[in-house]
Amino acid sequence: AQKVTQAQTEISVVEKEDVTLDCVYETRDTTYYLFWYKQPPSGELVFLIRRNSFDEQNEISGRYSWNFQKSTSSFNFTITASQVVDSAVYFCALSESYGDSWGKLQFGAGTQVVVTP
Amino acid sequence: DTAVSQTPKYLVTQMGNDKSIKCEQNLGHDTMYWYKQDSKKFLKIMFSYNNKELIINETVPNRFSPKSPDKAHLNLHINSLELGDSAVYFCASSPSLAGQDEQYFGPGTRLTVT
């Protein structure tokens, strides 16, 4: 069963608009880690952020911000004032600490973000 | 300096052939992985190795055989290639098996089986 759901397949925005990518996860572990990766058209996977299950503080890094809410099992990602260079596929991923899922990075299906000038 | 490198970047071959993809990391990490990204961009783990020991084998056909000669290298050999093996294969590494470790990905190898 899919443990990470990214319900938005594609989001298209015009430059300077804000865009929020949803990520909902499912786990029974009390200790787990959530990640966001970016895959630009060139194909490589770029790490953006890691958050552990005990740290619900929101984080901001430049135009990027993340909202982690354990109550809704969500770890959403917002790009403020989007730019054409933000066009990419964004993946949310879960890493659990126990059982069969230990040591695996489980990815969502990805959200394609298209930013047009 | 490239942290995680893979060769080749592109691989086009015919059904039934055997091919290998090589991966090297210069980060001093203990753990390495192979992931497969299908045509719909879905990423799924195939294998992980920790200090040359196989840790995860994720129900991958036994035509796929990973080999880790040392902890800096993890190669993937594929026998009797099938059309469905066409995908992008990513190698990755992390400091350890611990779930909190960020994984560093290679540039990917696009395999096309005709």
The 3-state secondary structure of A3-18 reads CEECCCCEEEEECCCC
Nearest to A44 among B97, B108, B110 (CB): B108
CB contact under 8 A, B44 and A97: no
pLDDT at B1 over 70: no
Listed residue (B71, B78, B37) closest to B55, CA to CA: B71
Confidence at residue A85, expressed as pLDDT on a 0 to 100 scale:
96
What is the reported pLDDT for A56?
83
Determine the residue of chain B that is closest to A108 in CA distance.
Answer: B42
As a residue count, chain B comes to 114
- How near does any CA of chain B get to the CA of A101, in Å? 10
Q: What is the pLDDT of residue B97?
A: 81
Which pLDDT score is estimated for A62? 92
Chain A within 8 Å of B3 (Cβ-Cβ)?
A: no
The Cα–Cα gap between B40 and A82 comes to 24
Under 8 Å between Cβ of A111 and A8: yes
Is pLDDT at B2 greater than 80 in this prediction? no
**Closest-approach residue (CA) in chain B for A31:** B99
CA distance B27 to B95: 8
pLDDT value for A1? 66
Mean pLDDT value of segment B10-32: 97
CB contact under 8 A, A110 and B42: yes
pLDDT at B80: 97
Q: Please state, in angstroms and rounded to a whole number, the distance separating the CA atoms of residues B98 and B71.
A: 16
Minimal C-alpha gap between A88 and chain B (Å): 12
A19-69 per-position pLDDT tens digit: 999 999 999 888 999 999 999 999 999 999 999 999 888 888 899 999 999
